[in-house]
Amino acid sequence: MRVGVISGHTIGSFTDNAQEIDVETPYGSVTLWYSKKNSREVFFVNRHGKNADDPPHMINYRAIIHALKVGGVDSVLSIGTVGSLNPSIKAGDFVIPHDFIDFTKSRNYTFYDNKRVHVDMSNPLCSSLRRSIVMACRELSQKCHEKGIYLATEGPRLETPAEIKMFSGFADVVGMTLVPEAILAREKEMCYASLCLVCNMAAGLQSVLTAEEIAEVVAEKRPVLEKILIRAVEEINEDRNCTCRKALERAML
């Protein structure tokens, strides 16, 4: 089985001593790192580019998802850093979203610009992959919030207190990268789930937000994050009964 791992931070377990592969796609080039984890083949990609300097609104999401699909990947585990809108979800917590609200504005959301394709997003994040992440957290005795609604915003600026107040009754965490990744993966009939690391409380819920705070939380949680990912990769069921891999069967008009 081939698994894709997308992250905004380099994860040594998937890049150290891995084979670096440059993939040309119709949407641009992508650098992948290929390694083996027991019976799994893993393709890792830093969504912000090889040098990790592409801001969220400029990420080449279509190229990343296309490159993973060409590589034979059918399961994608995505890692994201988020802020919390929910007082019960604190900095340092892990959240496994089950749904999202999209408030991005100017991204490429589809591979289908020349035909009518409407993928079903009734279950927008693969329930089977989400269970794999949950099981990994449980086996490692790592507390996680097993459900959550992800608010996707455009960036690169952080949100205002008024925006967070408006959304706090509808979403649990806020980030900038789950959309359009999840949508594009569904269009490629790949299972997709996300593991989110909460790095701060959103605007208005703490006095100030800094990039340094995000970096500090990521650095602190990186060891356990890597362990969760490695275990989640092993937990993926090849015979899962989700409908992600048949998403196009009834999506075209």
* Three-state SS sequence of 199-247: EEECCCCCCCCCHHHHHHHHHHHHHHHHHHHHHHHHHCCCCCCCCHHHC
φ/ψ of 138, rounded to 5, equals: -65, -45
Which pLDDT score, from 0 to 100, does residue 111 have?
Answer: 98
Which pLDDT tens digit goes with each residue over 155-212?
A: 999 999 999 999 999 999 999 999 999 999 999 999 999 999 999 988 888 878 888 8
Q: What's the mean pLDDT in 75-98?
A: 96
Please give the average per-residue pLDDT across 2-10, as a whole number.
Answer: 95
Point out the least confidently predicted range of 127-131, 151-155, 208-212.
Answer: 208-212
Please provide the average confidence, as pLDDT, over all residues in the chain. Answer: 95
Could you name the CATH architecture of 2-246?
Answer: 3-Layer(aba) Sandwich (3.40)
> Between 69 and 37, where is the model more confident?
69
pLDDT score recorded for residue 71: 96
pLDDT at 204: 82
Per-residue DSSP letters for the chain? -EEEEEESS--HHHHTTPEEEEEEETTEEEEEEEEEETTEEEEEEETTTTTT---GGG--HHHHHHHHHHTT--EEEEEEEEEE-STTS-TT-EE--SEEEEE--S----S-SSS-B----SS-S-HHHHHHHHHHHHHTT--EES--EEEEE--SSPPPHHHHHHHTTT-SEEESSHHHHHHHHHHTT-EEEEEEEEEEEPTTSSS---HHHHHHHHHHHHHHHHHHHHHHHHH--TT---SGGGTTTTTB-
pLDDT surpasses 90 at 38: no
Mean pLDDT to the nearest integer, 8-33 = 95
The residue-averaged pLDDT of 63-88 equals 97
Residue 161: asked if its preceding bond is cis (omega within 30°), the reply is: no
For the segment 93-100, the average pLDDT, to the nearest whole number, is 98
pLDDT band, very low/low/confident/very high, at 96 (cuts 50, 70, 90): very high
| Range with the poorest average pLDDT among 84-93, 140-149, 182-191, 205-214 | 205-214
pLDDT of residue 253 exceeding 90, the answer is: no
Q: Is the pLDDT of residue 132 over 90?
A: yes
What per-residue confidence (pLDDT) applies to 51? 85
- At residue 92 the predicted structure's pLDDT band, cuts being 50, 70 and 90, is very high
- Confidence band of 143 (pLDDT split at 50, 70, 90): confident
Q: What is the mean pLDDT of residues 141-157?
A: 95
Q: Which residue has the higher pLDDT, 51 or 118?
A: 118
